Structure 1
Amino acid sequence: MSYCTWDSSLSIGIEEIDKQHHRIVDYINELDDANVSKDRDKVSKVLVGLTDYTKTHFIYEENLLRKSGYPLSDSHQKVHNTFIAHMDKFRLRHEQGEDVARPLMAELRIWLTNHIKKDDADYAPYAKKIQNIDKSWSDRMVSKLFS
């Protein structure tokens, strides 16, 4: 059974964002698998992958917010920056030998769910307008950031 499950309540109705959020959920489950198997090297690799992917997702999302004219894009970016700093602290603690996987997974599941349902749902109407107008922008950004 998955530690964190993706369901329709986490969808904000923007295909690319939903796809990226789903990948983050997958990373959380990979972290759980690595933790259950007591594989510190795998935990390390998943932490790096999760952090790097999340940073890239945030870059995509923040560009989308600016392009769509979302009025709270600066404060949304600050939330992202705070989250990444928090993730980096967990990575450092892991590198210093602390077992952080379980508490990190718990925080990630709660944070991601709350962030998607509140913060991301708030910008969705703005982003949907731009997504419908300029689909090629999204394709170019995805290619640039995730290829």
Structure 2
Amino acid sequence: METLEWNADYATGIPEIDAQHSYLFELTNRFIRGILGQSEMIPLPQLLSELSAYARRHFSYEELLMQRAGYAHLEEHRQSHDRLSDRILQYSSEVEAGRLDPRDLAEFLRNWLKLHILRDDMRYIPALTSKGGNHGNA
């Protein structure tokens, strides 16, 4: 299993969004390195709690920017965020029941982050940048 590598392909050009995405990559990578025995393993409940809290903060920020910009696909994007939040809750239940393979969670996070940023998040960039760049003070 490979870690995620942040590169220019994932950059939105919005510094706060890029910093938040980069942190989500780092959180996922810390978990992957733990699974691979390259660093101390983050306990699953701790990872899911931190991921859930940070993702909610990030999603709220993104959605606020999209709302301010009048982004036409905001509701669709919000639903994608809601699906991830629901999935994290599902994983939390599986952790409590002892049924979660950490590798499954790591693979899901890797794939979701890469696809969501490249496919979904990049779609809102033109709407945000065409509104005069007022995205740094949400």
- CA shift digits 1:37-93 (9 cap, x unpaired): 597762321221111101110011111110111011011101110111011111210
Aligned partner of 2:32 in structure 1 is: 32
- Indicate if the aligned counterparts of 1:90 and 1:100 stay in contact, CA closer than 8 A: no
**Cα gap change, 1:51 to 1:5, in 2 (>3 Å):** same
1:2 Cα deviation after fit? 6.2
RMSD over aligned Cα atoms: 2.3
Aligned partner of 1:9 in structure 2 is: 9
Aligned partner of 1:124 in structure 2 is: 125
How many residue pairs are counted as aligned between the two chains?
137
- Indicate if the aligned counterparts of 2:35 and 2:103 stay in contact, CA closer than 8 A: yes
Give the unaligned 5+ runs of structure 2: none
Match of 2:72, SS state, is: coil
Quick one: which amino acid aligns to residue 28 of structure 2?
Answer: I
- Indicate if the aligned counterparts of 1:31 and 1:105 stay in contact, CA closer than 8 A: yes
TM-score, normalised to structure 2, is 0.87
1:1-147 pair list within 5 angstroms: 3-37=3-37, 42-130=43-131, 132-133=133-134, 135=136, 137-138=137-138
**Cα gap change, 1:95 to 1:118, in 2 (>3 Å):** same
1:16 Cα deviation after fit? 0.8
TM-score, normalised to structure 1, is 0.82
| Percent of residue pairs bearing the same amino acid type | 27
How many Å separate the matches in 2 of 1:119 and 1:16? 17
